[in-house]
Amino acid sequence: MVTIVLADDHHIVRQGVRALLEAEPDFEVVAETGDGLETLQTLERLKPNVLVLDLMMPGLNGLEVVRRASRLSPHTRTVILSMYADEAYVLEALRNGAAGYVLKDSSATDLVKAIREAAAGRRYLSPPLSDRAIEAYREKAAATAVDRYETLTAREREVLHLAAEGYTNAEIAARLGISQRTAETHRAHLMHKLGLHTQADLIRYALRRGIIPMED
């Protein structure tokens, strides 16, 4: 039996995906979550075979979730289910440890296949994505400057995400179980590392970096 956790902030999407997966006799959806931080807690507790994960999640985005998932649950394989076909997202997801990447407009067969491949220890990219395109983008990205985001600590990334969503320092502290002063310190450090000066700078950076979604 392949145990699965679904992580997507849209309840109706989770309902549809759950119904699809539970039609497979050897799949079992053991939990759902709509928040990145809650997803990590769920992974640590249940340690499923496969995590099906959206990229844009409140609390902590999917790219950061998949980066940490392998440490919290080493045997869990992650399949990204996303509307974003941009090579930058796909490469970052694979670089962070994702085993599969499926577009939300793909067929149900693609998602089922991706989960089976991931559970078997293989990689799967749904059409029109391809290893060749991703490798070409990887070579191009390797020639660019060092990404300042990589200099942030795990906690600074959490604070960055919540701050970009509009949480105050007090609210961030309560959400992460830290003091307000500590939250303020993390926020100051990440702003300095990223060369940001205002909340508007922070939001623009988060949008550009894909930490929070662009508004339609």
Quick: pLDDT tens for 21-59. 999 999 999 999 999 999 999 999 999 999 999 998 899
> Whole-model pTM?
0.75
Question: How high is the pLDDT of residue 209?
Answer: 84
**SS3 label, residue 51:** strand
Question: How high is the pLDDT of residue 84?
Answer: 85
Q: Which residue has the tokens 């502290």?
A: 173
Q: Do domains 2-141 and 148-209 have the same CATH topology?
A: no
Question: How high is the pLDDT of residue 139?
Answer: 66
CATH number of this structure's domain 148-209, picked from the four choices 1.10.10.10, 3.40.630.40, 3.10.20.600, 3.40.50.700 = 1.10.10.10
Question: How high is the pLDDT of residue 94?
Answer: 86
Question: Residue 100 contacts by C-beta under 8 Å, 6 or more apart in sequence?
Answer: 77, 78, 79, 80, 114, 115, 117, 118, 123, 124, 125, 126
Domain range annotation of the chain: 2-141, 148-209
Question: How high is the pLDDT of residue 140?
Answer: 61
The secondary structure of 85-113 as a DSSP string is --HHHHHHHHHTT-SEEEETTS-HHHHHH
Question: How high is the pLDDT of residue 149?
Answer: 86
CATH number of this structure's domain 2-141, picked from the four choices 1.20.1090.10, 3.40.50.2300, 3.30.750.80, 3.30.2270.10 = 3.40.50.2300
- What is the H or E stretch that residue 180 is in? helix 180-194
Question: How high is the pLDDT of residue 38?
Answer: 95
| Ranges of the chain whose pLDDT falls below 70 | 131-134, 136-146, 215-216
Question: How high is the pLDDT of residue 215?
Answer: 62
